[in-house]
């Protein structure tokens, strides 16, 4: 049996079940850990910023609505507008270097509220602890914050021999 944690739920599955994918959100912030696997965190961050900048500019936005900022060493964010039909919406994405991984966070809020958005991202990132399952588990660690009314976590598992699938979804 293999132990899994999805959100605040712990359970076991036979070893034959493999993780297909997972998604999690807390305080309406999408959070994920991405393994470094020998890559540098700076390289991954720059690659993501370039992808966002290219998409942002190709959607017809100028650089005046695109801003990169550093929250603290190893913790950076980019603000951008993502949807022309929602001119008051702005998205912030952040990368935080953590042991063996990058913690990514994404939140869309109201333009003009960037300081509050950055504070929410910063608090969320500061709650992350690697290699622990207690708290709100996101794969390679957990957010150690108290339960929130805005927690969502999903995970899909697949057993390839019998083609059996299991989908776990939690909403608080």
Tokens 């290219």 correspond to 54
Tokens 């944690």 correspond to 5
Q: Where are the beta strands (DSSP E) in the chain?
A: 2-6, 9-13, 17-26, 29-35, 66-72, 75-80, 89-98, 101-110, 128-130, 136-137, 141-143, 151-159, 164-171
- b vs e for 139-149, b when ≥16 Cβ sit within 10 Å of the residue's Cβ? bbbbbebeeee
What's the pLDDT at 25? 96
What's the pLDDT at 126? 94
Joined together, the tokens standing for residue 76 give: 């950076």
What's the pLDDT at 85? 76
8 Å CB contact between 64 and 72? no
Domains of the chain by range and CATH? 2-171 (3.40.1000)
* Distance set, CA 149 to CA 115, 121, 137, 170 (Å): 23, 17, 16, 11
pTM over cut 0.85 = yes
What's the pLDDT at 58? 84
Q: What is the dihedral of CA 31, 35, 38, 39, to 10 degrees?
A: -30
Query: pLDDT per position in the chain (172 positions), as tens?
Result: 999 999 999 999 999 999 999 999 999 999 999 999 889 999 999 999 999 999 888 888 877 788 999 999 989 999 998 777 777 899 999 999 998 999 999 999 999 999 999 999 999 999 999 998 889 999 899 999 988 889 999 999 999 888 899 999 999 8
What's the pLDDT at 133? 83
What whole-number distance in Å separates Cα of residue 16 and Cα of residue 39?
Answer: 29
């Amino acid at each position: 049996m293999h132990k899994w944690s999805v959100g605040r739920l712990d359970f076991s599955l036979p070893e034959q079940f493999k993780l297909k994918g997972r998604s999690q959100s807390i305080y309406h912030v999408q959070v994920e850990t991405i393994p470094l696997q020998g890559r540098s965190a700076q390289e991954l961050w720059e690659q993501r910023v370039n992808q966002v900048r290219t998409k942002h500019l190709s959607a017809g936005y100028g650089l005046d609505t695109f801003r990169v900022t550093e929250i603290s060493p190893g913790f950076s964010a980019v603000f951008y507008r993502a949807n022309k039909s929602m001119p008051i919406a702005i998205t912030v994405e952040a990368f935080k270097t953590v042991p063996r991984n990058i913690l990514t966070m994404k939140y869309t809020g109201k333009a003009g509220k960037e300081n509050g958005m950055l504070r929410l991202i910063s608090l969320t990132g500061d709650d992350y602890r690697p290699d622990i399952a207690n708290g709100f588990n996101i794969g390679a660690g957990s957010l150690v914050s108290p339960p929130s009314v805005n927690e969502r976590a999903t995970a899909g598992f697949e057993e390839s021999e019998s083609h059996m699938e299991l989908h776990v979804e939690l909403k608080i």
